[in-house]
Structure formats: structure tokens, C-alpha cells
Amino acid sequence: MKILVINGPNLNLTGRRQPDIYGSRTMDDIVASLRHDFGGVTIDYFQSNCEGAIIDRLHEAGFGSEYAGIVLNAGAYTHTSLAIADAIAAIETPVVEIHLSNVAAREEIRHRSLIAPVCRGTIAGFGEDSYRLAVEAIMQF
């Protein structure tokens, strides 16, 4: 089984950026933990600060049987990108939206997700465990 983790803008700074909100471990640490904890699953990882690159990667991974699912932390694009929502709606591979923080407990602008309606589900507020929970969910599809 293969699962793709896609991260959006500023998530390359995880571990350094606002650790009180996003945690103190880097994405390299988090992905390494996922690969360790789910040894029988291939975890591929992609991060971009560019909306178009995220859309291109969704398109590449969205058809055929290569990936059982996609874990997507779209960062701020969650709340602003109709283009990413359209890309998710267009592909066949199921997408689980995740967030490190509880976006519903943050600023008003973060309360609405444009991608949630086209994702299989949403996991938020569990820090790096949000990624683990999403992988577990995909394994149950």
C-alpha cells in the first residue's frame, strides 16, 4: 500500500515556526515516524509553497491505483484555494484533509475550509498525530 502526504505553504518550517501551535518536531521527523510506525506502507512525501505545484501533484497521484489515499495539509490554501478544491473533486484517489492545529479554535478566517466538502474526511487539532490518524483512516478505506 502507498500513501502520499502533501503539505502546503509554510509547513516546511514546522519545528521552527510557532512551535506552540505547530509543534517542535520537523516534517522530516514526522514523516520518519510515519514510515517507522507504518512499516508495511510506503509513505511518499511532497511539500510546496506554490498552489500550482500542489495541484499538479494531486493530478499526478489522483488516478490509477498507485496510491490508496492522499493526506493533505493544505495550510492556508485550505481557506482560500478553490483551485485545490476543484483538483481534489476531479481526482479519483481519496483525500483526507488534516491540520496540526485545531483550526476551529483559531482566527475566524481559518474556520472555513474550501477543501473539506470534497475530501473524504478531516482531522484537525491533534498535532503530528493528525498525520498518523489520517494514515490509519486511509488504511481502512
Active site residue 111: no
H-run or E-run covering 122: strand 121-124
Catalytic site residue from 36, 67, 77, 99: 99
Catalytic site residue from 22, 67, 77, 131: 22
Residues 6+ apart with CB under 8 A from 2: 41, 42, 43, 44, 66, 67, 68
Q: How far apart are the C-alpha atoms of 125 and 49, rounded to whole Å?
A: 22
Helix (H, G, I), strand (E, B) or coil at 80: coil
Q: How far apart are the C-alpha atoms of 52 and 32, rounded to whole Å?
A: 26
Active site residue 22: yes
Catalytic positions, please?
A: 22, 99
